[in-house]
Amino acid sequence: MYNNNHFCNQNPKKDEVEPFFAVDLEDVCNKHIRWLTSMPRVTPHYAVKCNDDINVIKLLAYLGAGFDCASKVMDLGVTADRIVYANPCKQSSYIRYAQESGVEIMTFDNEQELMKIKQIYPNAKLVLRIVTDDSNAVCRFSMKFGADMNTARKLIDKAQEIDMTIIGVSFHCGSGQMTSKAFVDAIQNARIIMNYGIKLGFNMHLLDIGGGFPGNSGTEDYFSEISAAVNKTLDEHFPEDGNIRIIAEPGRYYVASAYALATNVIASREMIDSETGNLKYMYYINDGVYGSFNCVLYDHYVPEPYLLAKNESSEKYTSSIWGPTCDGLDCINKSIQIPKLNIGDWILWKNMGAYTISAAVQFNGIPFGKPLYFMSKQFWDSVKAAFQTVPRKYQIDTSVIRHNSCDCSNEVEDDMLPWIPEDFIEDATVVTIQ
Give how far the C-alpha of residue 322 lies from the chain's centroid of Cα atoms, to the nearest Å. 25
The residue annotated as part of the active site, out of 89, 139, 295, 326, is 326
* Neighbouring residues of 130: CB distance < 8 A, sequence distance ≥ 6: 109, 146, 147, 148, 149, 152, 169, 170, 171, 186, 189, 190, 193
Q: What is the rounded CA–CA span in Å between residue 24 and residue 1?
A: 7
Write phi, then psi, for 126 (nearest 5 degrees).
-95, 145
Strands in 83-84's sheet, in edge-to-edge order, are 83-84, 66-68, 42-47, 245-248, 206-208, 165-170, 125-129, 105-108
CA–CA gap between residue 303 and residue 394 (Å, rounded): 34
Strand, helix or coil at 154? Answer: helix
Helices (H), ranges, 200-336:
220-237, 252-255, 295-298
Bridge partners of 127, per DSSP, are: 107, 168
Using CA atoms, how far apart are residues 334 and 316, in angstroms rounded to an integer? 15
Active-site residue flag, 326: yes
CA separation for the pair 124, 94 (Å, rounded): 13
Q: Let me know: does 334 contact 282? Beta carbons within 8 Å.
A: no
**Residues with active-site annotation:** 326
